Amino acid sequence: MNSLQNKRILIVGGSSGIGLAVTKQACKAGGKIIIASRNAAEKHDDLVSAVDHDIETYSFDVASEDETATALKKIGDIDHLVITARPDITPAPFVETDLKQAKEAFETKFWGQYQLIQKAQGQISQNGSIVMTTGIAGEKIFKNFSTMAIINSATEAFCRLLAIELAPIRVNVVSPGFVAPKSPEVEKYAQQFPSGRIASPEEVADAYIYLMGNPYTTGISVVIDGGARLM
């Protein structure tokens, strides 16, 4: 495994959930962490306390080309780029899906990852990597998850394409199953999985650390779903 010691790692979506868990683990591995999200800079002091480590923070919206370009210029060169920004989407039957909300979800999760990676070219180390986030709804079809199914499966294809076009930079995805928000319905549903429960953010974060560090991984999806896709 390549060491993350002193590596500059930009984690977009690192202020909460899975991204915050990646931040904590990457800090412990000796990385120099930069957290970005729409409100990360405003939460700087709280985030430093949460991770107990000196970090940089930037606020920008990945759905905004201008904000993304401006922030990337300030951030400068990085070794690894991790993207865990989560769109607001309410699961609903396809015929009832709010088209505006579905398009906004694409703007954040699909086009956000797309433009961030495109604009960061020239700033990512040739020995470095990109880790995007998809989700199990892209592989296993769950009723009422049409928007996430399409975004996640498009991102999986995008990852394989980028692994070829951006080499030697490695490009991978992590595909989480059910993590959060916890609800009695989701926890009951998860009892059917081989794992018998939903995941913790920390369990999913392990996969990002592995993908950044393993120099022979590229174009792959690491599924951390407790076996949900098998049901």
Ligand X SMILES: NC(=O)c1ccc[n+]([C@@H]2O[C@H](COP(=O)([O-])OP(=O)(O)OC[C@H]3O[C@@H](n4cnc5c(N)ncnc54)[C@H](OP(=O)(O)O)[C@@H]3O)[C@@H](O)[C@H]2O)c1
Q: Does residue 179 bind ligand X (CB under 6 A)? A: yes
Cis peptide leading into residue 194 (ω within 30°): no
* Nearer to ligand X among residue 47 and residue 124 (C-beta): 47
Which of 118, 150, 128 is CA-nearest to residue 4?
128
Minimal distance in Å, beta carbon 175 to ligand X?
7
Minimal distance in Å, beta carbon 43 to ligand X?
7
Q: Does residue 62 bind ligand X (CB under 6 A)? A: yes
Q: Does residue 53 bind ligand X (CB under 6 A)? A: no
52: helix, strand or coil: coil
Among 84, 146, 147, 221, indicate the residue that binds ligand X (CB under 6 A): 84
Residue 205 tokens, joined: 């974060």
Minimal distance in Å, beta carbon 160 to ligand X?
18
CA dihedral for 123, 129, 133, 137, sign (positive or negative): positive
Minimal distance in Å, beta carbon 130 to ligand X?
14
Starting at the edge strand found earlier in the chain, the sheet holding 170-176 runs 56-59, 32-37, 8-12, 78-83, 124-133, 170-176, 221-224
Distance of alpha carbon 71 from alpha carbon 58, whole angstroms = 7
Minimal distance in Å, beta carbon 37 to ligand X?
3
* Nearer to ligand X among residue 164 and residue 186 (C-beta): 186
Q: Does residue 71 bind ligand X (CB under 6 A)? A: no
SS (H, E, C) 82-116: EECCCCCCCCECHHHCCHHHHHHHHHHHHHHHHHH
Q: Find the part of the chain contacting ligand X (CB under 6 A) among 14-22, 92-100, 122-130, 157-165.
A: 14-22
Among 38, 44, 160, 229, indicate the residue that binds ligand X (CB under 6 A): 38
Contact positions vs ligand X (CB under 6 A): 12-13, 15-19, 37-40, 61-63, 84-86, 108-109, 133, 135, 176, 178-180
